[in-house]
Structure 1
Amino acid sequence: MKEIAFFVGVLFQLSILSLTESSGFSIDLIHKDSPLSPFYNSSMTQSDIFINAAFESISRAESFSVNIDQNSDETITIPNKGSYLMAFFVGTVPRGSLAMADTGSDLTWIQCLPCTKCYTQRIPIFDPRKSDTYHLIPCGENSCKKLRRNSCGNIGECRYEVHYASNSSTQGTVAKDTISFKNSYNGRIIKYPNTIFGCGYNNIGVFRPTRAGVFGLGSSKLKFGIDTQTKRIGVVTTPMVSKYPSTFYYLSIENVNINGRMVRPYESPIGNIVIDSGTTTTFLKTSWYKKVEAVVLDAIGHQSVVVKYPIRPYRLCYKHGSITNFPNITLEFFGACIELKLNTLSTFITIYNLTCFAILPAEKISIIGNLMQVFFNIEYDLDK
């Protein structure tokens, strides 16, 4: 059976679109700023949300760069800064959990009792002693050895340790239990016995009380469905590239096509960009971004009014309503037969009285953020 992870990138909407499959299941992902989210702040406007998300994305992109430069063995994703929440259930008598769904993190973990040191959590903390299906993973098993930081406990159990940015960390045991999800397509509960996860007993840092942990999709293999997008018409496929650190999903963009003008990256296109669900903004390396920005500026033309002082951190903004012709932007992925046409609503955003180009420059890493993934179903085929 293929092991494929699906997520639907739909941002700033009251309801999240469900991905319906003939076999498999879908899960509603809750954006943290949605009214359905425990973080919802009714006083924030959409412009406020965009600006905050951009600065958080910059911080996340910088932490990615540090990890790549230092060849660190630590997972650097900041679990506090992600965008989407996922609801699931753990144990024989299922206890509900809400965690951040993140394709930039490896390990799925939740807080567990008895805590050595746990952060405040609003929903009850999972107690493995009350689950008949909970079992520890021995430290000799391959699933333990694959963890970046693993050790043997007093009774031979596998122990993990993960360090994040901002001095946050989680420590605990590696275990397996039944993980359940509610299929948003038909309302049924789908159970997966013997799913491996981390039971965190010592968790410190910037974790929020509304989250029980992190749902890591960076290298986890959870069975969400067996159909593949390649069977459908108009699908763009491209190989994922193996590259350090292996947590991230690397893709290869050969060209950014703006009204028929190709803008190539300076470096080799192979593995030149990360696709990430936890970063809102899309980033291109500075040299590549400058070429793209120049072509976008030229494509929009001089009849539209560019503002001299754009709203930070955005660089290219126009007076709202002054753009008469938005450029057609497509991405040409390595190995793809057709280009991926981007929606204008994900490449240009409205902030207060301005319309701004939604892509930003980054010094050391390019990232496809979740805003650019809006209006698409994204499939990760881990078998291939």
Structure 2
Amino acid sequence: MASPVLLFILLCSYYSTAHGGDKHGFVVVPTSSFEPEALCSTARVTRKEQNGATVLAPLVHRHGPCVPSSQSSTNKPSLAETLRRSRARADYIVSRASSRGSSNVSVPTYLGTSVDSLEYGVTLGIGTPAVSQFVLIDTGSDLSWVQCQPCNSTKCYKQKDPLFDPRKSTTYAPIPCHTDVCRRLTVDRYGAGCTDGGAHCGYFIQYGDGSRTNGVYSHETLTLGPGVAVTNFRFGCGYDQRQTTDKFDGILGLGGAPESLPVQTASIYGGAFSYCLPPVKSKPGFLALGGPKPSNTAAHGPGFVFTPMGRAMGRVDDELTSYVVRLTGISVGGIPLDVPASAFRGGMIIDSGQIVTRLQTTQYNALQAAFRKAMAAYPRLHNGDLDTCYNFTGYGNVTVPRIALTFAGGATVDLDVPHGVLLNNCLAFEESGPDIGLGMIGNVNTRTLEVLYDVGRSQLGFRSGAC
């Protein structure tokens, strides 16, 4: 009969193998790492060459300590409110992308997303001389915009940065009406006809929460970093806004339509861009334009795994904006879920503004069951925000199973533990609906990953541990 000491050694060996020895197994993490620090990390990202791409630094969480001091706000929504806004955004994006353009289908002409569900932003300069503006990044929209002078408190919401005044810029020029560029706005849902007595091109965006921006479609110089500027950048100079109490200055559109920053700079950066979202709010990430330089051993860039990327097969005028990939498998604790291939046929939109990943019914039920089984040692908590939450009070360390996503082409991505798996001690996934429908990949689950949208090659790349 084995001695108690030998049994203890064997049990420890088994636990190590099952809970951390395997790359795709389990990770022991201190519960203190779940919460962001009160101060921004001094390890700031600076502009540099990263895998051949121009890095814009920093990319920060809008409600974290790294946000520029001029943009700091005590108006931080609860998790329940954040998820409500995110779900409203997801429901609209999926319904828009799933519409087939039939005469029996009515699709709203406004954007159903809420700008309040966007979480990350960058500081850039607009005009000559450049005026700093803090704008939220959004892969779910295309047209970039900022508020412009002259604009009083009844027409524009209050922001802490100075409003951009085009009258003080030597490079500002409104786009004339009745031009091809102006007509394209109507095709892409952003057109507002002519303004300023019919001379200039007007734009209009209304969001599902009632927020809106209205103004003049214009040309201007966009400064992305020291010595890096985009001339004749097309953007919305907003003179009539209705917005929430948050103090961001505008939106940076990263979608796939002609109005977006990646498409406008395609001749310089090849239409590729990437970002890395930091694991906690107290650390900056980065936004980059351009793809990695291929090496002799990595045809698509060192450290990346790639999957084919397509468009949502919705209305003709909506196909360009959203980026879609196909999920083919999920594993929990190193064990693949027993899910039929048919459950993955709906596809997944990847969106910087979505909070948690939304999986179709069969996938989600399997993931939820496997995760709950792996976390059975910890008491469940029912808080109403997400349906798989835990009470870690009194635990110094928690053993969390790794979750890996496998995409078409075989690309497998390990989510960061715990920041890419847990949100407020809850599993950062939820159910989206029937298997045939579209799901969405959320920004929480891509934390620490560099996500590369290589539009020119129609592929999406992931690189682990990038920030």
SS across alignment from 1:201: strand
Amino acid at match of 1:275: I
Amino acid at match of 1:225: G
Equivalent of residue 115 in structure 2, options 70, 79, 86: 79
State the superposition RMSD in angstroms. 3.0
Shift of the 372–348 alpha-carbon distance from structure 1 to 2, 3 Å rule, reads closer
Q: Is contact 1:75–1:106 with CA below 8 Å preserved after alignment?
A: no
Equivalent of residue 62 in structure 2, options 32, 49, 66: 32
Aligned to 2:382: 310
SS across alignment from 2:232: strand
Shift of the 381–312 alpha-carbon distance from structure 1 to 2, 3 Å rule, reads same
Q: Does 1:103 align with 2:146?
A: no
Q: Is contact 2:141–2:254 with CA below 8 Å preserved after alignment?
A: yes
Q: Does 1:200 align with 2:238?
A: yes
Equivalent of residue 327 in structure 1, options 381, 401, 405: 401
Query: In the aligned structure 1, how far is the partner of 2:386 from the partner of 2:108?
Result: 30
Q: Is contact 2:415–2:421 with CA below 8 Å preserved after alignment?
A: no
Aligned to 1:340: 413
Query: In the aligned structure 2, how far is the partner of 1:205 from the partner of 1:267?
Result: 42
Moved more, 264-273 or 160-169: 264-273
Equivalent of residue 375 in structure 1, options 424, 448, 453: 448
Shift of the 265–57 alpha-carbon distance from structure 1 to 2, 3 Å rule, reads farther
Structure 2 unpaired stretches of 5+: 1-34, 100-105, 270-288, 458-467
Q: Does 1:133 align with 2:207?
A: no
SS across alignment from 1:383: helix
Moved more, 152-161 or 171-180: 152-161
Shift of the 98–225 alpha-carbon distance from structure 1 to 2, 3 Å rule, reads same
Aligned to 1:4: none
* C-alpha distance after superposition, 1:106-153 (max 9, x if no partner): 210111123382222222221212222112223344432332232233
SS across alignment from 1:326: strand
Query: In the aligned structure 2, how far is the partner of 1:152 from the partner of 1:301?
Result: 59
Equivalent of residue 212 in structure 2, options 169, 178, 185: 169
Moved more, 124-133 or 355-364: 355-364
The 5 A counterparts of 1:179-328 are: 179-182=222-225, 188-206=226-244, 208=246, 210-219=247-256, 220=260, 221=262, 222=265, 223=269, 224-227=289-292, 231-243=300-312, 244=314, 245-246=318-319, 247-258=321-332, 259-264=334-339, 269=344, 272-298=347-373, 300=374, 302=376, 304-307=377-380, 309-320=381-392, 321=395, 326-328=400-402
SS across alignment from 2:419: helix
* C-alpha distance after superposition, 1:308-336 (max 9, x if no partner): x4222121234424997533321111124
Shift of the 325–137 alpha-carbon distance from structure 1 to 2, 3 Å rule, reads same
Amino acid at match of 1:36: C
CA shift, 1:293, in A, is: 0.9
CA shift, 1:84, in A, is: 0.8
SS across alignment from 1:344: coil
Shift of the 99–12 alpha-carbon distance from structure 1 to 2, 3 Å rule, reads farther
Name the count of aligned residue pairs: 357
SS across alignment from 2:304: coil
CA shift, 1:282, in A, is: 1.8
Shift of the 347–179 alpha-carbon distance from structure 1 to 2, 3 Å rule, reads closer
Query: In the aligned structure 2, how far is the partner of 1:378 from the partner of 1:333?
Result: 14
Amino acid at match of 2:169: S
Query: In the aligned structure 1, how far is the partner of 2:355 from the partner of 2:91?
Result: 14
CA shift, 1:214, in A, is: 1.1
Query: In the aligned structure 2, how far is the partner of 1:373 from the partner of 1:161?
Result: 31
Shift of the 54–80 alpha-carbon distance from structure 1 to 2, 3 Å rule, reads closer
CA shift, 1:55, in A, is: 4.2
Aligned to 1:358: 428
Query: In the aligned structure 1, how far is the partner of 2:452 from the partner of 2:173?
Result: 31
Q: Is contact 2:88–2:113 with CA below 8 Å preserved after alignment?
A: no
Aligned to 2:200: 157
Q: What is the identity percentage for the equivalent residue pairs of Structure 1 and Structure 2?
A: 26
Amino acid at match of 1:177: E
SS across alignment from 1:346: coil
Shift of the 238–108 alpha-carbon distance from structure 1 to 2, 3 Å rule, reads same
TM-score, L = length of structure 1: 0.81
Amino acid at match of 1:317: C
CA shift, 1:253, in A, is: 0.6
Shift of the 96–257 alpha-carbon distance from structure 1 to 2, 3 Å rule, reads same
Equivalent of residue 91 in structure 2, options 62, 66, 80: 62
Query: In the aligned structure 2, how far is the partner of 1:350 from the partner of 1:101?
Result: 21
SS across alignment from 2:371: helix
Structure 1 unpaired stretches of 5+: 1-10, 183-187
Query: In the aligned structure 1, how far is the partner of 2:375 from the partner of 2:230?
Result: 55
Query: In the aligned structure 2, how far is the partner of 1:49 from the partner of 1:228?
Result: 41
CA shift, 1:266, in A, is: 7.1
SS across alignment from 1:93: coil
Q: Is contact 2:59–2:122 with CA below 8 Å preserved after alignment?
A: yes
Query: In the aligned structure 2, how far is the partner of 1:193 from the partner of 1:152?
Result: 24
- Structure with higher helix content: 2
* C-alpha distance after superposition, 1:55-100 (max 9, x if no partner): 4433432343454565333222211331012111111111111111
